[in-house]
Amino acid sequence: MVKSNKTEKNDKRIKIAIITGAGSGMGRYFAYYAGKFAKDTDEIWLVGRNKRKLYKTASRIGRNCRCISADISKNEEYESLTKIIHEEAPDIRLLVNNAGIGIMGDFSRLSPEENRLMTDINCVALTRFMADCLPFMSRGSHIINMASAAAFLPQPGFAVYAASKSYVYSLSKALSRELRKKNIYVTAVCPGCVDTPFIGRAEKYVKMKDYKKPFMARANDVVLKAYRDSYSGRNVSVYGAGMNMFRIAARVLPDEFILRLFF
């Protein structure tokens, strides 16, 4: 784990926002709007596997960006990312843990490697990165973790993904309370289907169910809502009436009842 070498001259440290998965989909919008919400940042650090896509995001931002290519599921690359943080010892004002993958299909149809990757990226890397960034975060900073509405209910046919997002949801809510003492805000973002490259990648074996299509949200709208919720101190952000109703239904109705209706 990276250890903070914070000095007493905190004000001299560079203030940054870090966004993982900033090369596409919602990550791009998190990067575009980072300066609007985390107003006091000097630089925006963009993390993803594909440097060309990160540069594309950076070119639209029009302020200081640093592109760091790293596959956060690979130990060596993950450590090269945290080494940069350790060396620069920035004041992280905003951390957006957005990188994630999902592959639809029955558990036994997916390869063991695919099932493992979903937990490695969505859970393990997210947890490690929060732990490694936290020593560099101070009062008034924000952590936004990308969960999903899939966190609200077990999902046959998307089982590991939904379980991984339940983990993110639960972890974020717990940390939101733990870190309240330090005035660090944690928000779990729980959208339903969003129109991003994620859907095409997720449909490797199985197509998305038609009933979900009318609820497909725009990435731009989900991200703006996430930022507004985070900067209003909310620990959960759910975009759209449909998904808010789904969240309530998942709380009040037995899982089995909802699963029988939709799966």
Ligand X SMILES: NC(=O)c1ccc[n+]([C@@H]2O[C@H](COP(=O)([O-])OP(=O)(O)OC[C@H]3O[C@@H](n4cnc5c(N)ncnc54)[C@H](OP(=O)(O)O)[C@@H]3O)[C@@H](O)[C@H]2O)c1
Q: Give the interface with ligand X as residue ranges (CB under 6 A).
A: 20-21, 23-27, 48-50, 53, 71-73, 98-102, 121, 146, 148, 191, 193-194, 196-199, 201
Distances in Å between the Cα of 27 and the Cα atoms of 31, 114, 248 are 6, 22, 27
- Shortest Cβ distance from residue 59 to ligand X (Å)? 15
Q: Are 152 and 168 spatial neighbours (Cβ–Cβ below 8 Å)? A: no
- Shortest Cβ distance from residue 239 to ligand X (Å)? 10
- Closer by beta carbon to ligand X, 138 or else 244: 244
- Closer by beta carbon to ligand X, 138 or else 154: 154
- Shortest Cβ distance from residue 134 to ligand X (Å)? 19
- Closer by beta carbon to ligand X, 92 or else 96: 96
Burial class (CB in 10 A: 0-12, 13-18, 19+), 216: middle
- Shortest Cβ distance from residue 11 to ligand X (Å)? 31
First to last CA, the chain: 41
- Closer by beta carbon to ligand X, 91 or else 187: 187
- Shortest Cβ distance from residue 182 to ligand X (Å)? 25
Cα–chain center distance at 218: 16
- Closer by beta carbon to ligand X, 13 or else 247: 247
Structure tokens at 167: 């983990």
